[in-house]
Structure 1
Amino acid sequence: MFMVMDLMMGGDLRFHMQRRRFVEGVIRFWVAEIACAINYLHTTHNVVHRDIKPDNILMDDKGHVALTDFNIATRIQDDRRHYSVAGTANYMAPELVSGHGYTYSVDWWSLGVVMYECVYGKASIPARQILK
């Protein structure tokens, strides 16, 4: 399968987060756009991304964002749980780390972590530490 997307000349979100802080309205706009993308993946294609993080959010020259890097994305069949552990540790949801199975909720957790990092300018506590 080949996926083609628009050229995103603004770089990834991590690049911008390392250089400056953002106002709430800008963060809210980005989170809304990514939330729409996640909802589209879940409801239209039954796909869970599993690796939502600032490095996988690209920005165009007008400030719009898009989700990229679907290497470890998987399809959810009949709302059955998945048990494989995949993703970037700091953005993994507790249910993904614990091994109890997960569905779409792991993407929403990751988006929340990204939003936290944008708002506060620092990394959150990884789920694996929360579960200890």
Structure 2
Amino acid sequence: MDKTVITSPSAPPGGPYSPGLISGDLVFLAGQTAPGATIEEQTEGVIAKISALLAEAGCTLADVVSCLVHMTDLSEFQRYNAVYEKHFPEPRPVRTTVGAQLLGSARIEITVTARRGPGGAA
């Protein structure tokens, strides 16, 4: 199986893992977190990192087919969802959201899988 690592200066890895991988026509991104004082700020930062990594793979948020979201406080879901909704176009990806303990001051972490169309970068 061929795998191509995706990196972006906007989303450096925080440990010994690949920020993203391309395998065939699928793009897998590691969970992304971002600094910020509020759930809205962190969500905006996470989506910006995801967008940067997707761009390196020749994709956009419109190519995302699945999101896995971890949140430290599920009572912030509606505030997070308002930010998410304005960035992901219809048809939106399938999504699972779970409560979790995250590292550091992260309140949210989003992992995505996308599908590259014809002509995507390698």
TM-score (norm 1): 0.31
In terms of Rg, which structure is larger?
1
Q: Higher helix proportion, which one? A: 1
TM-score (norm 2): 0.32
> Using CA pairs below 8 Å that are at least 6 residues apart, which structure has the higher relative contact order?
2
